[in-house]
Structure 1
């Protein structure tokens, strides 16, 4: 469906930009700059200097009310880039509450599927340990299998 308020040229521009784009994972922070500066013990002015430099280097993007860390920061903090998939098998009588708990996990996508498993979670590798720890606390999770993407072929 094409949005009617866009001109043909705007649609052409969007399509062109999309073709030229590369997917980039971001991690968004919504704390205020004042809160962040207080948390790490520097002035707001000093924080702004650091943020400007990090932005120039491509580590963050900023906007009104948010700071996005790009996936370029992952090697700095010792995390791996890429995705992982967690296949989850649930106890049938506990499926509905388990689905609700799973929806709260910090994952990219959640798929309810048919077959030998009930749910597939797509998660970025930096969040994998946290997600696995949280899954283990969900009542009704019978079994998990984790697969880490080593290369995207297409």
Structure 2
């Protein structure tokens, strides 16, 4: 298992392409879901210096804060509320160029300006979302969407356990 990241400079695509095999290495041989989500959040934060990176997991019909990197965050998010709850309800990735323009946005931090939320699946079942925030407007695009979906797909393996 890799324990250090090699930080790649260059285009966003080059950065993601360098990060993917490193994340795969971090996950290899580890079956604990929480540990793997924590390492993914840390790797994304370290590579891109996003404002906030983390997971919310579905628990009792709410999204509950999971592993994350960044300032303290909202602990629970209702179904179909805010960007995360809407991504969960619609079962789709949502890119928000300006969070203040998103109807019903939940402002966990006034410093967050743009956001992308990507559904997380296990055994073809939606189990949560990956939430990535930037302190700058319009930070996320189709490149982020493509690679974050690919990163989340690494969790789909049914050998992962929640301990």
- Provide the TM-score with structure 2 as the length reference: 0.23
Q: Larger % of helix: which?
A: 1
Report the TM-score when normalising by structure 1. Answer: 0.24
